Structure 1
Amino acid sequence: MPGRVDIDDPEVDMDQGLRLLHRGELFTGEVEERLGGAVVGLDAYVAGVQHGPSREWYEDGTLRSEGTAREGRPVGASREWHPNGVLAAETEFSEDGMTMLAERRWDEEGRPAKNWRAGAE
């Protein structure tokens, strides 16, 4: 079983349970997405389910987003950046991945655009 596969590899597929398969077997390892030769996405999978770090980049190599999944659900903090490198959003999820706890957003100049927290008015 390979440690890393390309999501566009013809031997990569999804089953009816939306689990990732490589050569017909549930995949464990890293799944990359490429655009024009550059890696623009890298996600960790365990037994066909997203589990572990997830990162995306713009085509020029600037970080676009990062977060962590546990058993297919987002957990902890995830972040997104504008193409100019300024933080665009930060979202916090519960450790079971079932609840969004907070979300903050900024415009391309870094000015606050949204600040929401669960339970706050």
Structure 2
Amino acid sequence: MAFQPEDILEGGRSIRPFLPELLGNDAVQVDKQLAELLAQAKAGQQVEQQILEILKSYPDTRNWIAEFLSEQQVSKGFQQLPGSGEALSAQKYICPQGDYVWYRRVVGATIPTCPTHGVLLIPADQ
């Protein structure tokens, strides 16, 4: 299945907050690689396949990105409810530099800073 380049980039931005729990000691190295590739993408380079290769190289990140790119979009903060319910939405926050995404799944959760740039994330709809 072919994915849209922006979907892969969004997956690379969105997985970064979860890397410590998914990868443990390898999280810092993978986060640095993703940050560099996302900076290259912002500069116009095609890095989507490299991002997928990094994420596919670890079982937990492979499963996470597969779920993220699936039609159900559970990792993006949307989950179909049983019965005739509607999808739930989590508020999206982004780094102003465009390389980090975080979803506020719980009201009152502290908004983090971007680990690459050290700036507070802003709501995506601004």
TM-score where L is the length of structure 2: 0.27
TM-score if structure 1 supplies the norm length?
Answer: 0.28
Structure showing greater radius of gyration is 1
Q: More strand by proportion, 1 or 2?
A: 1
